[in-house]
Each structure stands twice: as C-alpha cells, then as structure tokens.
C-alpha cells in the first residue's frame, strides 16, 4: 500500500465503548491524531454517552466533531448472553451484520480520507467481509488483543471453524486495511497466528492515560492499601485478587476493588475487601482520587487476558504505583525495553507472598528501581512521541 497524503478528515468509529468505557484510551487516541495531523477534522462515531465523556476529556482540542452510532445490541452489551457455541456464533454474526451497516453509514455520512476503527477484532473483520466502503480510503484497525484467544478457540463443529478471525482477515479485510497493534507482543502474535499476510502491520504503543493529578510518593505506613483496578471479572484476575485478600487481609493490610462488577463473579465472597467494586463504572475523578490513596496495584491477570494490551498496567505506571501481577506479555514487553517495573509472579501463592513482603517493607530498594523505569516508560509513551511515530508511519517520513 503506498504512503498516503496527510489526511484532512479522519473518521474514528468505536463499537464496544459505552459511557466512560475505554474513554481513557479513546481520549488519548484523539489527542494523538490531533497532534499528528493538526489541520484535520476528526469525527468520532460512537455511542452517545461515550461521545459525551470524550467531549469532556478533549474539550481543549479544536476541530473535533461527534456523531452518534446506532446501538448494536439491546442494552449496549458487547454480546448478548449465550449458553452454547451456536448462540455465540449467531450473536457474532448478528453483531457483524449490524457493525457493517454502522461502518457503511459512518463512511457515507463522513467523507473522510482516513478511517480508524476501534473494536473487538472478530466483530469488525466479520463486518468488513461485505462492507461497501470507498476503495481508496485507508482503514486502520486497532487491536487491543484477541489474537491469542482466537488462536486457542476451537469450535467442535467443523462448519463453524470457517468463522475464525484468521479467515475473516484473509477473506474479509479490504486491501486498504492496515492493522495497528497496541503492543509489540501483539504484532508478534499476529504474525504467528496469520502466517504470511499481504496486510501491513504496525505497532503503536498503547498510550498512557492523561494524569489528572500528580502521583504521590509517601513512606509506607499501616494499613498498607492494595488495589485491583477496572472491571472486576475473572479474566482480569479479580477471582485471584479476592483469593489473595482472603489469605492476607488484616488490620495492617487492606484490599480495595476500584472498579465495577462484571459477569461470573456472583459466587465470590467479597467480605475480605475493604472496598468492593461498584455496580457501575466509577466516575474518573473518584477513581483517580482513590487510586492516589493506594500503595500498590495487585492484578493477577489470567492466561486468557495476559496477551491483551492492559490499560490497568498503564494506569499503574501513569500514577507511579508498584505493580504486582502474574507473568504476562505486557510486562515482558515493557521490561524488555525499560527494565523491571514491578513484580511478575509465577503463580498466586508466589504473588500473595510478594504482596505480603511488600507490606512488610522488603521491596524498598526494588521500588526505587521500578519507579525510575516507570518514568522511562512514561517518557517513551508520551502523546507527542506516539503522534510523531503515527504520522511518520502514515506519511512515510514526510
């Protein structure tokens, strides 16, 4: 694909986000595009409540426009509830059909010369399979993850195996599609999963959230406060967090769930938590206020989630908090580039012991190293740095 001219109109289409969901990333994305192309009009085509949050977060930027997309599912769920593979498949196909109409409508309404799509990968690729879009307009498809899960998913019925992410990309993606991976390990996983592909692949490091208040650095005192951040669901490690809290919670060591409850956690006993996740996502100002009060972040991400780009880890880095987790690809990527930024445990017992050791003051020296490396990550992922990289990628160094 030849390098394109500087865009004058950029269309950002978002599917999964509702209200403040993913607003930290999407707000940063709009700032990156604005910095990369200061004269372009940027139109965000997203759910109404999500647009409202983004408008508040980017009210200092000029040249932004907002369009409301129609709902894909009732209640704006990512996918409706399903119990069987067949129901899951039907939901994916239904979502792909509605997503296709939404993309087509957005492209018809907004005459952009660059389209950026933010959406779970299988849904979008299914949507692009039959989409009628301008053939000359570049499409940038942003991946947060899903590649490892797609590779490992095995539907029993061989007919359903046709509906895989690999086939959706090979047979559905238009020639103008470029794939943007938010971490280097995702680019590696993409190449492993896809094999040889004609589509360009580019890594644009996941931006850090804009810091709403200066990080705090105070001497450790009792009770030591450990936090789980974000949606409280098993894949992100909430079950493991509760298990560690059950083992360690005391007058000297507290555990706080700073986020909102997701699915499949009704069976968990949350009494060990000093702060329990709420029913709805915390307002950003309250989330930041509570995060600043924490001494460390404990996030035992599951193997299924460990391949994704983790906004939670980046929250911890942005606010310079010690990070304790199970081994995962994001930590490996960051530490390969910048050195240790926290503690990655081999299993839950190892993680629980590390948290206890931290509370006992055994990581003072290591914490100083982590802080220095976290600040190096923040410098490497400044919005200005990422915008220059994005612009250079699109324009070929012009």
Q: Tell me the pLDDT of the chain (398 aa) as tens digits.
A: 445 689 999 999 987 787 877 888 899 999 999 999 999 999 999 989 999 999 998 999 999 999 998 776 555 555 556 667 677 667 767 777 777 888 888 888 898 999 998 875 555 666 676 778 888 888 888 888 766 666 655 445 555 566 666 776 776 666 778 888 888 888 888 888 777 666 788 889 989 887 888 899 988 999 999 999 988 888 888 999 999 999 999 999 999 999 888 776 778 889 999 999 987 777 888 989 999 999 999 999 876 676 777 778 888 999 999 999 999 888 888 899 999 999 999 999 999 999 999 999 999 999 999 999 999 999 999 999 999 999 998 887 44
Residues shown for the chain: 398
Measuring CA to CA, which residue among 123, 207, 185, 219 is closest to residue 131? 123
Tokens of 199: 């589509």
Q: Residue 48, SS3?
A: helix
Is residue 46 within 8 Å of 64, Cβ to Cβ? no
* pTM of this prediction exceeds 0.85: no
Q: Are 147 and 307 in contact (CB under 8 A)?
A: yes
User: Residue holding tokens 């930290």?
Assistant: 24
Answer for the pair 22, 230: CB distance below 8 angstroms, yes or no. Answer: no
Residue 201, SS3?
A: strand
Distance of CA 13 to the CA centre of its chain: 16
Cα–Cα distance measured from residue 152 to residue 132, given in angstroms and rounded to the nearest whole number: 31
Is the distance from CB of 140 to CB of 29 less than 8 angstroms? Answer: no
Distances (CA, A) of 393 to 78, 114, 208, 244, 390: 31, 13, 20, 44, 5
Neighbours of 340 (CB within 10 A): 15
Burial track 246-259 (b if 16+ CB lie within 10 A, e otherwise): bebbeeebbbbbbb
pLDDT value for 324: 97
Domain ranges of the chain: 9-207+381-395, 224-380
Residue for token pair 């974000």: 230
pLDDT of residue 76: 55
The candidate with the shortest Cα–Cα distance to 146, out of 170, 124, 127, is: 124
Q: In this structure, are residues 244 and 351 in contact, taking their beta carbons and an 8 Å threshold?
A: yes
Predicted confidence at residue 318, as pLDDT, reads 92
pLDDT value at residue 246:
96
Structure tokens at 242: 């509760």
pLDDT at res. 212? 82
Specify the DSSP element, H or E, that contains 43.
strand 41-46
SS3 177: strand
Q: Which residue has the tokens 């989330």?
A: 287
Instruction: Give tens-digit pLDDT for 39-51.
Output: 999 999 998 999 9
For residue 332, how many C-alpha atoms fall within 13 Å in the half-sphere facing its CB?
Answer: 12
- Residue 259's pLDDT is 85
Fold category of 9-207+381-395 in CATH: Rossmann fold (3.40.50)
Rounded to a whole number of angstroms, the distance between the first and last alpha carbons of the chain is: 16
Angle 279-69-71 (CA atoms, 0-180°, nearest 5)? 50
pLDDT value of residue 127: 66
Residues facing 253 on adjacent strands: 224, 250
How far apart, in whole angstroms, are the C-alpha atoms of residue 318 and residue 299? 16
| pLDDT value for 159 | 56
Contacts of 243 (CB under 8 A, 6+ apart): 348
Q: Are 9-207+381-395 and 224-380 in the same CATH fold? A: yes
User: How many Å apart are CA 361 and CA 358, to the nearest integer?
Assistant: 5
Position 306 scores a pLDDT of 67
Decide: 157 and 85 in contact? Cβ < 8 Å: yes
Q: Domain 224-380 has what CATH class? A: alpha beta
């Amino acid at each position: 694909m030849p390098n394109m001219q500087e865009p004058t109109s950029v269309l950002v289409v978002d599917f999964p986000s509702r209200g403040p969901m993913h607003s930290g990333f999407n707000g940063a994305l709009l700032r990156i595009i604005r910095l990369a192309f200061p004269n372009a009009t940027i139109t965000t085509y997203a759910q109404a409540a999500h647009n409202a949050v983004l408008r508040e977060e980017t009210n200092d930027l000029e040249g932004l426009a907002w369009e409301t997309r129609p709902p894909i599912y009732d209640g704006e769920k990512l996918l409706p509830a399903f119990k069987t593979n067949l129901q899951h498949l039907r939901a994916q196909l239904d979502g792909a059909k509605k997503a296709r109409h939404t993309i087509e409508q957005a492209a018809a309404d907004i005459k952009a010369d660059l389209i950026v799509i933010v959406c779970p990968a299988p849904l979008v690729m299914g949507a692009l399979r039959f989409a009628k879009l301008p053939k000359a307009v570049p499409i940038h498809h942003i991946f947060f993850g899903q590649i490892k899960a797609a590779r490992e998913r095995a539907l029993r019925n061989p007919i359903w195996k046709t509906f895989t992410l690999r086939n959706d990309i090979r047979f559905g993606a238009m020639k103008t599609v470029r794939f943007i991976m938010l971490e280097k390990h995702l680019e590696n996983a993409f190449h492993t999963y896809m094999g040889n592909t004609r589509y360009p692949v580019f890594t644009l490091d996941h931006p850090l959230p804009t810091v709403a208040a200066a990080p705090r650095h105070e001497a450790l005192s009792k009770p030591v406060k450990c936090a789980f951040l974000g949606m409280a669901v098993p894949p992100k490690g909430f079950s493991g967090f509760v298990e560690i809290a059950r083992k360690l919670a005391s007058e000297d060591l507290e555990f706080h769930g700073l986020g909102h409850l997701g699915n499949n956690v009704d069976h968990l006993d949350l009494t060990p938590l000093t702060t329990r996740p709420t029913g709805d996502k915390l307002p950003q100002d309250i989330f930041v206020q509570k995060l600043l009060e924490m001494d460390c972040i404990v996030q035992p991400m599951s193997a299924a989630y460990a391949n994704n780009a983790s906004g939670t880890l980046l929250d911890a880095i942005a606010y310079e908090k010690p990070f304790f987790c199970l081994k995962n690809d994001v930590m490996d990527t960051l530490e390969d580039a910048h050195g240790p930024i926290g503690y990655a445990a081999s299993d839950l017992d190892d993680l629980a012991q590390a948290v206890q050791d931290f509370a006992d003051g055994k990581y003072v020296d290591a914490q100083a190293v982590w802080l220095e490396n976290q600040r190096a990550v923040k410098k490497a992922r400044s919005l200005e740095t990422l915008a220059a990289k994005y612009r250079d990628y699109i324009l070929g160094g012009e």
